[in-house]
Amino acid sequence: MKNAEIISKLNVLLADYQIYYQNIRGFHWNIQGKHFFQLHAKFEELYTDAALKIDEIAERILTIEGMPLHSFEDYLNTSTIKVTKNVHDGETTVSTVASNLQELLSLEREIKEMAVTADDHGTEDLMSDFIDQQEKTLWMMKAWLK
């Protein structure tokens, strides 16, 4: 059943976003150095956006008759994104955000293709929206690192 496969992948994406979100919250709280003001504000923007996407993913799973993961244990056991902690410098935090975004984009592209095959236009549109926005954010993170 194609819905079951899409639901499963959306739950991985949900778990990835939860870890990504928490990584960015930690960066926001703990950033130090000459880029503090710039990155503190940027990380808040990113985690606010991630929180909205988390809700959209969970609601999409429910819309296609699935059950979204909803415990930290499930997120940790399912996520492909690794927990990052005790990082304070701009280079490492931005590099980690870029790496996390690359991982999210890869999974979103996979889900989008699955949705196209299954004629699941709602999931396809959601992934397209995420991809468009995140490609730009990833470009900006890479530009900052240069």
- 45-83 pLDDT tens trace: 999 999 999 999 999 999 999 999 999 999 999 999 999
Question: For the chain, which domains are there?
Answer: 2-145 (1.20.1260.10)
Confidence of residue 1 (pLDDT cuts 50, 70, 90): low
Q: Taking all residues of the chain, what is their mean pLDDT, rounded to a whole number? A: 97
Please write the tens of the pLDDT for every residue from 87-126.
Answer: 999 999 999 999 999 999 999 999 999 999 999 999 999 9
Q: How many whole angstroms separate alpha carbon 134 and alpha carbon 107?
A: 12
Q: pTM score, two decimals?
A: 0.96
Q: Write the pLDDT tens digit of every residue in 12-49.
A: 999 999 999 999 999 999 999 999 999 999 999 999 99
- Taking the alpha carbons at both ends of the chain, their separation in whole angstroms is 45
Helix (H) or strand (E) holding 15: helix 2-30
* pLDDT score at 37: 97
